[in-house]
A and B are shown apart, each in its own frame.
Chain A
Amino acid sequence: MSDTPWLRPLGQPKLVVVRTVENGGPTHVRLPGKPARTVEALRESWRIDDEWWRQPISREYHIVVLDDGRNLTLYHDLLDGTWYAQRG
């Protein structure tokens, strides 16, 4: 291993599979290697549009409550249409 200290970002997004309703709100979520869970409630949503001058970022965030009681932060990447789970 090199002697140079290295940096690893915390809170990296993880790819998830999400089923949505017509207006785009998540209804089911499947985390990698886990069975699909139903979204019981949508607690909060917000949107981030940033860094248009270099690599644009456009995300729609949702905090959802799953049917096992867990809170999960999801975002929909509006540029490529993929969904991610992320620790805030």
Chain B
Amino acid sequence: MGPGSGSAFLPASPRVSSGSRQALCLWLPTFELRLELVRSPALDSTSLALLSSGESTRRTIWQVSERAHEAGVRPGQLVSQAVSLCPSLTLLEPDPAHYDAAVESMLELLSEITPILEPAGRGRVFLGMDGLGRLFGSPERQAKKTLHSLFRIFPAPLVAATRAGFAPGKFGAWVAAASARSGEPVVVGDSDLARFLAGCPVSALPVDPLIVQRLERLGVQTLGELRRFPEPSLISQFGDEGRSALAWATGRRIDPVRPWHRPEPIRVSLDFPNPVGITETLHGALDRLIERALSRPTRQGRSVTGARMGAQLEGGGSWFVQTVLREPTAQRERIASPLRMKMAIAPPPKAVDTLIVEFTQFGAASAQTGLFDRRDESGRAAAGRELTRGEVPPSLRDAVKELKLRLGHSPLYRVVEVDPWSRIPERRHALLSFDP
């Protein structure tokens, strides 16, 4: 079965209390490769493979076309192995910006059908369909209408290759989609779910692949065969995943579709007059872009917890690295440093035409630094200008005045260096009373 990543079935954030029990899963296998074929139809008659992104040396195959598959080329093979198996193989660099744009437009379109959307990777999305019967009719009609709506953004071959499954819960919908034929949705009702799941292979379970391998070695091929085992023996063999596997196999566990929340990213870009391949130039440009993104009004009052750095490459194609920051921050260096490190590990494969920085996740503004901000937040006294070194911001001056009125003295102190290189620790720093 396809790319059954388990993450889609992990429990959602406890903050999200509601979800949709009835789920529609749309799945487009080898989504990225099909997008490349749509972009360059001439490649359809060739043996085609998409390279994995990431490693700069020892590149591997990510996705393969049917012709390449027939020649023995498989995902995960080294390029040298693949070319020796299929000398006429056409290799393509991945273009993540193009794929992400296609996903964005698909999600935007599907949000017209239901507000409850939960993407699970690029080629797979779950739609919450609770309460849509009176609008669109039976589950079959709902699934067909959803598939049909894709014609507005995708060409016919892409829509025709999309599989759809409608069932209670995400697991049921995913298994239904995986067993569906292109363009013909599989609909499973509440009463049929257990019977439908019984015939499905254990490889559909979103559990550790090693568990699936062990089950298959033990002769357990289908979910129906798995059900014969008592729960305690599955738990003793596979731990908590054994319990989850049984709950999915029997249809007892129904994972609702949770509405997906993604804040509007802040995106800034820089076009180079000539393609750039020098790392230092890219680092300088990265710093300038982060500064620009941080100064955007939409960023004010929020810190950054996730960022992406990307590029449009010379001669087509794109490249991306992303990072999740350990702590929310609004400091340029703290954002730039992990991105530079990722770039060192997986540098752009070609010279860069346009460099892009995106802030994708946000945290709360830091309240701790507010008092000592060197900008006047009210904008009345200093009108937002940078204060010179040693100048005390009016917000801080007012706060100290108020504390002195209440306590009779200023309880604020400043840490000053006295003899920072002294061998005697108590000589290095001191507290100085702060009373502007």
Interface residues of A (CB under 8 A from B): 1, 3, 5-13, 48, 50, 57, 73, 86-88
Given contacts A1-B408, A7-B418, contact A50 B430 (CB under 8 A): no
Please give me the residue from chain B that is nearest to A51 by CB atom.
Answer: B424
Measured in the bound complex, the distance between the Cα atoms of B420 and A11 in whole Å is 12
Does B405 interact with chain A (Cβ within 8 Å)?
A: no
- Are the C-beta atoms of B430 and A57 separated by less than 8 Å? no
- List chain A residues, Cβ under 8 A from B431: 7-8, 10
- List chain A residues, Cβ under 8 A from B435: 3, 5
Does B387 interact with chain A (Cβ within 8 Å)?
A: no
Other-chain residue from A3, A10, A13, A50 in contact with B428 (beta carbon distance below 8 A): A10
Does B41 interact with chain A (Cβ within 8 Å)?
A: no
Tell me the dominant secondary structure on chain A's binding face: loop
- Are the C-beta atoms of B432 and A11 separated by less than 8 Å? no
Does B213 interact with chain A (Cβ within 8 Å)?
A: no
Other-chain residue from B408, B416, B423, B429 in contact with A48 (beta carbon distance below 8 A): B423
Q: How far is the CB of A83 from chain B (nearest CB, A)?
A: 15
Measured in the bound complex, the distance between the Cα atoms of B416 and A13 in whole Å is 19
- Are the C-beta atoms of B424 and A8 separated by less than 8 Å? no
Q: How far is the CB of A11 from chain B (nearest CB, A)?
A: 5
Tell me the dominant secondary structure on chain B's binding face: mixed
- Are the C-beta atoms of B427 and A9 separated by less than 8 Å? yes
Q: How many residues of B contact A (CB 8 A)?
A: 18
- Are the C-beta atoms of A9 and B426 separated by less than 8 Å? yes
8 of the cross-chain contacts (CB-CB < 8 Å) are A5-B432, A7-B418, A7-B431, A7-B432, A8-B413, A9-B430, A11-B429, A88-B425
Measured in the bound complex, the distance between the Cα atoms of B425 and A57 in whole Å is 12
Please give me the residue from chain B that is nearest to A49 by CB atom.
Answer: B423
Q: How far is the CB of B409 from chain A (nearest CB, A)?
A: 4
Measured in the bound complex, the distance between the Cα atoms of B427 and A57 in whole Å is 13
Would you list the 5 A-B pairs with minimal beta carbon distance, nearest first? A1-B409, A10-B429, A8-B431, A7-B430, A11-B425
Does B415 interact with chain A (Cβ within 8 Å)?
A: yes
Please give me the residue from chain A that is nearest to B404 by CB atom.
Answer: A1
Q: How far is the CB of B314 from chain A (nearest CB, A)?
A: 52
- List chain A residues, Cβ under 8 A from B427: 9
- Are the C-beta atoms of A11 and B433 separated by less than 8 Å? no
- List chain B residues, Cβ under 8 A from A13: 426
Complex interface residues of chain B between 335 and 370 (CB less than 8 A to chain A): none
Complex interface residues of chain B between 21 and 66 (CB less than 8 A to chain A): none
Q: How far is the CB of A86 from chain B (nearest CB, A)?
A: 6
Complex interface residues of chain B between 191 and 208 (CB less than 8 A to chain A): none
- Are the C-beta atoms of B426 and A6 separated by less than 8 Å? no
- Are the C-beta atoms of A50 and B415 separated by less than 8 Å? no
Given contacts A1-B408, A5-B433, contact A11 B416 (CB under 8 A): no
Q: How far is the CB of B390 from chain A (nearest CB, A)?
A: 14
- Are the C-beta atoms of B425 and A6 separated by less than 8 Å? no
Most buried by B among A1, A48, A57, A87: A1
Please give me the residue from chain B that is nearest to A46 by CB atom.
Answer: B423
- List chain A residues, Cβ under 8 A from B408: 1
Other-chain residue from B409, B430, B433 in contact with A10 (beta carbon distance below 8 A): B430
